[in-house]
Amino acid sequence: MTNQNKNSQALLMWSFPLLFFAFQFILRLWPGLMMQEFMQQYAIDAAGFGLIAAFYYYGYAGMQVPTAILLDKFGAKKVIFVFALFCGAGAYLFTISSNFYIALLSRFMIGAGSAVGILGVSKVVSDWFDKGQYAKMIGFSFSLGLIGAVYGGKPLSKWLAVYGGYRVGITLAIVISVLGFLCFITLRQPKNNNDSFEKLRFSNFISLLSSPIIWAVAMANLLMVGALEGFADVWGVPYLMTAYSFGKTDAAFLASLIFVGMIAGGPLMAWFGKKFGNYLSICLCGVGLAVIFLFLLAQTFSSSLALSILLFSVGVLCSYQVLIFAVGSSMVSSSYAGVTVAFLNCINMLGGSLFHTVIGKIMSYYGNEASGFSTTAFQHALSIIPICALLGTGCIYIVKLRVTHTKKSSQFLLTQ
């Protein structure tokens, strides 16, 4: 096989898991566009809706490490197929059911199935591309995958307005299942695959849990993730509709600018980290997120242009996660690098469940759920986002002091 044919085949293998990764963002953002409809469908208040949103993240976070192990054992072809069917079944149940507990189960299923998204892409890239291309291809994958998150804003909102929640929900369930089937029939294991990438070992994961400094980095990541997983994923659209009187489609477009900002923010954060240092860059992102959310909650700016700039900036700053993973990996020897990233991503996604649960409980104390919530209710509930961003910034600053002391003592945090 010529190099050109090999590269073409590698890109084909990469494209199908990438489509799954992009599409799972739509399933993730879907409930935020139908908050009132789902509250009526399941006869729940805001606290119940927050719990439904949180269960997606329980499933996603809980399956991070098991999914990585399954991919190593069975390969991307089988695992992506099974997980896609799991997503499809969850989306179908979520659409047709009116039982609150079935709703919790179905969102958990969607989250658990979505866990294979970026991990499946990572597995295929490691199988089909040279090791020197890994970082570049994962960067491309994140940027292209976020297009799915952008589509989960205004375009999906228009679909819902035209076709209704039931038909769209069934369509989403079918499409994600078909994508899994396409992965099953197209993915192949490359010839002469030496499996040069280190396999994830459970013993490494246990050792990682004993490191307080890694836990501190993980908690900082959890605290700072509210802007993305709390606001952009679910509560941003209803807040913009209530506080700024936007229609659902326009509010969905504005919220999706956070994901557009993340597309640009990944490379920008990598440059900032190299120029100013990872710790300082993360701290500046945390403070920046807190300041912008104070503006958003105080309704300091009301024009579409000003809000577009603010929300795009939120997306850029949310790309601090690139630096969090770099910080975590730099603290451990190479044998722990993979499991460290998986662990940090796991705790990061648990942050989504925390924010949705707390925001929903605070919201339930205000307003009339049947007609919508007041701006004050949203402002009080969403105020935990800037508060937690500052707390996360404090955690990172403490980690920096600890790591500086550790390096002076010539100690390494985790070694083989």
Q: Which residues contact 181 (CB under 8 A, 6 or more apart)?
A: 81, 84
Same domain flag for 204 and 314: yes
| pLDDT band, residue 409 (cuts 50/70/90) | very low
Sign of the C-alpha dihedral computed for residues 175, 181, 186 and 187 taken in this order: positive
- The span from the CA of 254 to the CA of 153, in Å, is 8
Per-chain mean pLDDT for the chain: 86
Same domain flag for 100 and 217: no
Same domain flag for 164 and 205: no
Q: Exposed/middle/buried for 69, CB within 10 Å: 0-12, 13-18, 19+?
A: middle
- Domain that includes residue 294, residue range: 200-416
Inform me whether the pLDDT recorded for 83 exceeds 70: yes
**For residue 31, what pLDDT is reported?**
87
- Whether 5 is covered by a domain: the verdict is no
**For residue 335, what pLDDT is reported?**
63
Same domain flag for 183 and 268: no
- The span from the CA of 38 to the CA of 237, in Å, is 14
Cα of 211 vs its chain's centroid, Å:
24
Same domain flag for 136 and 75: yes
- The span from the CA of 124 to the CA of 18, in Å, is 10
Q: How many residues does the chain have?
A: 416
**For residue 103, what pLDDT is reported?**
94
Inform me whether the pLDDT recorded for 193 exceeds 70: no
* 142, 162, 188 - which closes a domain: 188
Same domain flag for 229 and 334: yes
Same domain flag for 173 and 224: no
- Whether 299 is covered by a domain: the verdict is yes
- Whether 227 is covered by a domain: the verdict is yes
CB 413 within 8 A of CB 211: yes
- Domain count along the chain: 2
Inform me whether the pLDDT recorded for 61 exceeds 60: yes
Q: Which residues contact 264 (CB under 8 A, 6 or more apart)?
A: 312, 315, 316
Inform me whether the pLDDT recorded for 5 exceeds 70: no
- The span from the CA of 377 to the CA of 214, in Å, is 35
- Whether 211 is covered by a domain: the verdict is yes
What are the tokens at 84? 């896609």
| pLDDT band, residue 196 (cuts 50/70/90) | very low
CB 33 within 8 A of CB 157: yes
The candidate with the shortest Cα–Cα distance to 388, out of 416, 357, 354, 362, is 354
Same domain flag for 121 and 222: no
**For residue 371, what pLDDT is reported?**
54
- Whether 394 is covered by a domain: the verdict is yes
Domain containing 47 — which CATH number? 1.20.1250.20
Residue type, 10: A
CB 129 within 8 A of CB 17: no
Q: Write the pLDDT tens digit of every residue in 94-140.
A: 999 999 999 999 999 999 999 999 888 888 888 888 877 776 787 78
Q: Write the pLDDT tens digit of every residue in 365-389.
A: 876 554 568 889 999 999 999 999 9
